[in-house]
Structure 1
Amino acid sequence: MRDWRYHVGENRDTLLAFAVFLIMFGIYTGNHPAGFTANVVTTAANKGVILALVAMAQTAVVLTAGIDLSVGMIFLLANCLASWIVVGSPGMTALGLLGVLLVGLLCGAINGLVVIFGRLQPIVTTIATGAVYFGLALFLRPVPGGDVNSELADSLTGQLPGGIPASLVVLFLIILTIWLPFRRSEIGRAVYAVGSSEAAAYMSGVPVRKAKFVAYCLSGLFAAMGGLFLTFFTYSGEASAANGGAYTLYSIAAVVLGGISLFGGKGSVIGAVFGALMFRTIGDLLFVFDLEPLWQPLFQGVVLLLAVSLGSLRLFQIRNRLDLFG
């Protein structure tokens, strides 16, 4: 009984995000002209998975008490690169997929190395590197265009037997094969320790540098996966600074809505996934209730502001508690 209560308490924010998402999605499908159908669910899932992967990228860095403002640009770079190389025969397509993921991993590694050895603040570092990654994306796609292996794209953004969205299954497999083993590994526990208190982690013999480096590499990898899904969804690549910036901001909102502390050391990518799905559903609700298009960005901006403010409020509460015992 105590174990059950402990696990519920530990995952309270994630469970809350899941419950709110279910309520919002129920309202959305209940008011959608087509109702709760496989096509409606699949379309919503495809859009949600793209943001969920970028939110997972942001989470990896936030857990170390950092923030990555380059995730949106890595996402764009992967999208533009995929529109060039994820084409052709199955063998060439597989090599293209591997190439895109390796580029994302490399971008994350560069971020980590600059933060660790350059001793710069993550927010400053990732603004600078994000500009570089956007420049590379713009070099690859000065104008929107390109292509992708249509058979692979259709299989990953379509439906499995029973009307189950394939993208949700892929997202589940990514969490199962990458995040959960990482979370339970020694280096995964080190990431949480660094986010909770870097000084205490260092004094306890935790490999602080290695933990940060792996977190940034994981961030780049997840962002590249998001870029791949955008390519599968749109069949093209586009170096849009507005799009990259929006996904970066939305990823932060999803992290906060998913119950992840901006102070580091608390939360899970699973919460970020539900936070991302929740944030996407907000846009869908605005659509089904026929809100004026000019008001939609304003409403989403208010939600974003409230989400970040909520995260900041949690930080102040933690600091006040520390002050009480200081």
Structure 2
Amino acid sequence: MRDLLRANPREAFAILVLAVLVTIYLATHPAGPTTYVTTIWANQSLILALAAIAQFFAVIVRGIDLSVGAVMALTNCVASYVVVGSSLDMAFGIIAVLFVGAGCGLLNGLLVVYGRIQPIVVTLATASLFVGVALLLRPTPGGQIDYDLADAMTLDLFGIPTAMIITAAIIALIWVPLRRTGLGLGLYAVGSSEQAAFQSGMPVTKIRLASFTLGGLFAGLAGLYFSFVTTTGDAGIGPNFTLNSIAAVVLGGVALRGGVGTLTGAIAGAFILKTIGALMFFSGLPPLAQPFVEGLILATAIAIGSADVLRVKNRLEVFGR
């Protein structure tokens, strides 16, 4: 445990902050720490956590994805059409939604890698494209998700919120094995130094394509889970999730300069943001002041991440002289 904390101090600190905030939230909630309270909190947190994971895969290779919210909106709208009907229909519908998400991420990756355009520029452009398609599908909120499936994914199992089970499954079944593979190691290598990774014989192009594709896949999962929570489609959900996903990865200890941080930390950052929002709701803070405080927290988190990037850049410039 000591070695784990020493190897991942940023992640450990984020988890500690989250534990404190959750304890305060459950202790001060008017209804107390009931299954209903924890389930609502977990559902909202998981949506942002999935968006933060999508952002993580872009940031870890020294990029940034401004299309995360747009992909969520598109996949949410697609889900409102296809995740209905028989069990087989819904299974194919879910696969289609995830395929759309991964396809959006792959498009971003192709433009970044082969177009040699900065990720922030590419994803800003594709975000408009994805939102445009989402608006064509759902000019106004509507559609329907199978209610039984939505309940199964958003309620609880033996008193444990399903969202928490899904979060644990993502860490145990996806992140833990991935970070021990060549791809997982390659993500950190490319983020730390793309040139050094290339000279070491790593397939940098494939790694960057895989990172953006995984980002699109998890943005699609975020849009799908948003569909389970709301049981409808809405093309206007994107902007807040894009900004929050960036703040979440920074709060979780993921460095915007790339190569530093973990997926677990990104998840913890997302849960921290949602817990802070929930605490403000029950704190008696005037409703009109809450957006200002949330914006201040987001701006501070992103400023911290940007300062880290500038500090490293300036240090490299000094060494270069």
TM-score, normalised by the number of residues in structure 2: 0.97
> 3-state DSSP class of the match of 1:9?
helix
Q: For structure 2, which runs of at least 5 residues remain unmatched after alignment?
A: none
Alignment length (residue pairs): 320
**1:41 maps to what in 2?**
38
Q: For structure 1, which runs of at least 5 residues remain unmatched after alignment?
A: none
Q: 1:320, CA displacement in angstroms?
A: 4.3
**2:252 maps to what in 1?**
258
Within 5 Å, which residues of 2 pair with 1:243-322? 243-322=237-316
Cα distance in 1, alignment partners of residues 111 and 148 from structure 2: 39
Matched residue type, 1:139: L
Cα distance in 2, alignment partners of residues 101 and 69 from structure 1: 19
Cα distance in 2, alignment partners of residues 271 and 73 from structure 1: 23
Choose 143-152 or 50-59, whichever is displaced more: 143-152
Within 5 Å, which residues of 2 pair with 1:106-255? 106-161=103-158, 163-240=159-236, 243-255=237-249
Q: 1:181, CA displacement in angstroms?
A: 2.3
Alignment partner of 1:73 is 2:54:
no
Cα distance in 1, alignment partners of residues 186 and 257 from structure 2: 15
Alignment partner of 1:28 is 2:22:
no
Cα distance in 2, alignment partners of residues 196 and 310 from structure 1: 19
Q: 1:21, CA displacement in angstroms?
A: 0.9
> 3-state DSSP class of the match of 1:48?
helix
Q: Deviations over 1:34-80 (max 9, x none)?
A: 01111100000000000000000000010000000001000111111
Choose 173-182 or 119-128, whichever is displaced more: 173-182
Matched residue type, 1:249: L
Q: 1:321, CA displacement in angstroms?
A: 4.1
Q: 1:222, CA displacement in angstroms?
A: 0.4
Alignment partner of 1:16 is 2:28:
no
Q: 1:5, CA displacement in angstroms?
A: 4.2
Q: Deviations over 1:75-109 (max 9, x none)?
A: 11111110100000101000000000011010000
Q: 1:11, CA displacement in angstroms?
A: 1.2
Matched residue type, 2:303: S
Cα distance in 2, alignment partners of residues 12 and 48 from structure 1: 22
TM-score, normalised by the number of residues in structure 1: 0.95
Matched residue type, 2:229: F
Cα distance in 2, alignment partners of residues 180 and 8 from structure 1: 16
Q: Deviations over 1:188-212 (max 9, x none)?
A: 1111111001111111111110110
Matched residue type, 1:27: I
Q: Deviations over 1:236-288 (max 9, x none)?
A: 00111xx3111000000000000000000011110000000000011101111
Q: 1:176, CA displacement in angstroms?
A: 2.3
Matched residue type, 1:68: D
Q: Deviations over 1:280-319 (max 9, x none)?
A: 0111011111211111111011001110111122223333
CA RMSD of superposed structures (Å): 1.2
Cα distance in 1, alignment partners of residues 192 and 106 from structure 2: 22
Cα distance in 2, alignment partners of residues 7 and 32 from structure 1: 33
Cα distance in 2, alignment partners of residues 176 and 110 from structure 1: 28
Q: Deviations over 1:143-178 (max 9, x none)?
A: 1111111111101100101x1000111122123222
After superposing on structure 2, the runs of 4+ consecutive aligned residues of structure 1 that deviate more than 6 Å are none
Q: Deviations over 1:105-128 (max 9, x none)?
A: 100000000000000000000011
